Amino acid sequence: MPLLDVSGLTIAFGSSEVVSDISFAVGAGERFGIIGESGSGKTLTSLAIAGLLPDGAQVSGSIKLDEMPLPASEKAMARLRGQRIGMVFQEPMTALNPLMRVNAQIEEAIELNGNSSAKMDVPHLLAEVGLELRHGERYPHQLSGGQRQRVMIAMALASQPDLLIADEPTSALDLITQRKVLDLIAEICSRRHMALLFISHDLKAVARLCTRVAVMHRGQLVETGPATEVFAAPKEAYTQKLVAASRFDLRAQDRAVSDETLLSVDGITREYRQGGMLFWAERPLRAVDDARFAVRQGECLALVGPSGCGKTTLAKMIVGLDRASSGAMQLEGITYHGSDLPSALRRDMSLVFQDPFGSFNPRLTIGASLGEPLRLETGLAADQVRARLVEAVEAVGLHADMLERYPHEFSGGQRQRLAIARALVTRPKLLVLDEPVSALDVSVRGEVLALLSRLQKDFALTYLIISHDLDMVAAMADRVLVMEAGRIIEEGRPEQLFAAPQQKLTRDLVAARLPDIS
């Protein structure tokens, strides 16, 4: 007898069906994963099970918990959510009340469940999710992302639920924290014999946690089966594509890396003034601390590190968006300190942003956005500008007609291609790529990386990739720098560095890598 039985679930908004005719069952204590990309309807499915669908959603089909259909009244549903179903959301910062201490929030979750000895249980729950007692006294903003997600899990556990729904619980966390939270969820589920409905786009995370998986694509359930079978021998074409995309095998292309130095960074430091009064100001925060390295012409250098280690700040100074507090950089032998980068040099370097949705002005056509960097090149006639734009768009495998369209008409993967096209219009030498694929769906990541690697060869580009994704770095980079708390602590070729890491952080990063599926 399954604990959760979903049959024929269909969710529609007006005339558009977002989830169509989905059926699956989760047994007591079973760990079930739903895999899907953005827009596949996986989150709406989980919200339907928790009875939290937004207004205006039309639902048909049945959802049964222990053979009983979900109650229709919101009040009964709320009680059920409190007692039988726990939920963990993607973004722990917005899911916690910023004005309440952690203890109070967990206590509230226990009390709502009708338990009067709430205060007694809080320390146990904190311990169970691997937090210390002192963390309970803090407010959410005083905790790190991983700690906040642990608090969310503690609150979900407060009611001793039979089913835990976790919707992308780790995608906002960095690599090391992600692994720790995944391990924690796995451990708690087996200890409490609690069923898990794990929703994610990350095949490796699902493979780590779940025994059975379902693959969703455009609102439909494509494939269901035991995790090992689905990953080892996927039957459907879409699943095969996903499984293939979860591995990066580009590596080893014959590019000429010259010995000439294109960019050298000499002891760059960036300090931020922290709060405090005029005279007794606190010690400034050092985001980047004496960074030194050189990028050779034609190479692909990767900068890895946990979130908050200063890698994005460093990238901003290199491209000239921020100014270094001390130290200097040299691009093609010309010294600069960040925002004083001479505009003649600006066109030799460009930046590709992480989030393809924020990197285009929604009110400008793609052509207008792409043409913007061409202001750096003086004396281009209108038809030359047009030719450059067409050249750039075609280089990333898109059609010149798209220049007249607006950003919202494109998917995330296409936008990222267009962002790369914008970075190419000035025919730069150095491309700085800030997490170029981490905001993209798994199935298009491979395509974008293949594109980047082809472009590097075709246009003799030099790449500086900033990322926390070691698999991607291993596939792309010739050389890797590891950054921790503003300092560069280790350097080496990826295969050698990941096989024998010297520093503790590098060892942690390597250990946190999820095993390959199948």
Partner 1 sequence: MRKLLAHPSLTIGLGATAIFVALALLSLVWTPFPIDQIDVPRRFLGPSAEHWLGTDNLGRDMLSLVMAGAWTSFLVAAIAVVIGIGVGVPLGLAAATWGGPVEWLVLRLSDFIFAFPSVVLAILITTLIGPGATNAVIAIGIFNIPVFARVARGGAMSIATLDYVAAGRLAGLNNAQIAWRHLLPNIMSLLIVQGTIQMSLGILGEAGLSYIGLGTQRPATSLGLMLRDAQGLFLLHPWLSIVPGLAIVLIVIALNLAGDGLRDAIDPKLRQENANALA
How far CA 337 is from CA of 107, 197, 251, 314, 326, in Å, comes to 51, 50, 34, 11, 8
151 forms beta bridges with none
2 token code pair: 């399954």
C-beta of 109 vs 418, nearer to partner 1? 418
Nearest approach in angstroms of CB 354 to partner 1 is 8
Nearest approach in angstroms of CB 423 to partner 1 is 9
Other residues' Cβ atoms within 10 Å of the Cβ of residue 347: 17
Nearest approach in angstroms of CB 435 to partner 1 is 12
C-beta of 100 vs 376, nearer to partner 1? 376
Question: Minimal CA–CA distance to 139: which of 345, 23, 147?
Answer: 147
**Terminal-residue alpha carbon distance, the chain:** 29
Residues of this chain that interact with partner 1 (CB under 8 A) are 38-44, 319-321, 343, 346, 350-351, 353-355, 357-364, 369, 372-376, 408, 422
Q: Output 157-160 pairs: Cβ under 8 A, ≥24 positions apart.
A: 157/86, 157/125, 157/128, 157/129, 157/188, 157/192, 158/86, 158/106, 158/109, 158/110, 158/113, 158/121, 158/125, 159/82, 159/83, 159/84, 159/86, 159/109, 159/110, 159/112, 159/113, 160/83, 160/113, 160/192
Other residues' Cβ atoms within 10 Å of the Cβ of residue 113: 15
Question: CA 304, CA 66: separation in Å to the nearest integer?
Answer: 47
Nearest approach in angstroms of CB 384 to partner 1 is 17
C-beta of 271 vs 355, nearer to partner 1? 355
C-beta of 43 vs 462, nearer to partner 1? 43
Nearest approach in angstroms of CB 407 to partner 1 is 9
Nearest approach in angstroms of CB 252 to partner 1 is 32
Nearest approach in angstroms of CB 320 to partner 1 is 7
C-beta of 290 vs 377, nearer to partner 1? 377
Nearest approach in angstroms of CB 203 to partner 1 is 18
Stretch (H or E) spanning 252: none
Nearest approach in angstroms of CB 290 to partner 1 is 25
Question: CA 172, CA 176: separation in Å to the nearest integer?
Answer: 12
C-beta of 96 vs 431, nearer to partner 1? 431
Q: In this structure, what are the phi and psi dihedrals at residue 385, rounded to the nearest 5 degrees?
A: -60, -50
Residues 6+ apart with CB under 8 A from 217: 36, 37, 40, 238
Cβ density class 354-381: b for 16+ within 10 Å, e for less? bebeebbeeeebbbebbbebbebeeeee
Cα angle: 216, vertex 219, 220; to 5 degrees: 60
C-beta of 51 vs 373, nearer to partner 1? 373
C-beta of 42 vs 204, nearer to partner 1? 42
C-beta of 162 vs 167, nearer to partner 1? 167
3-state SS string for 22-53:
EEEEECCCCEEEEECCCCCCHHHHHHHHCCCC
C-beta of 248 vs 353, nearer to partner 1? 353
CB 185 within 8 A of CB 169: yes
Nearest approach in angstroms of CB 334 to partner 1 is 16
C-beta of 347 vs 386, nearer to partner 1? 347
Nearest approach in angstroms of CB 151 to partner 1 is 22
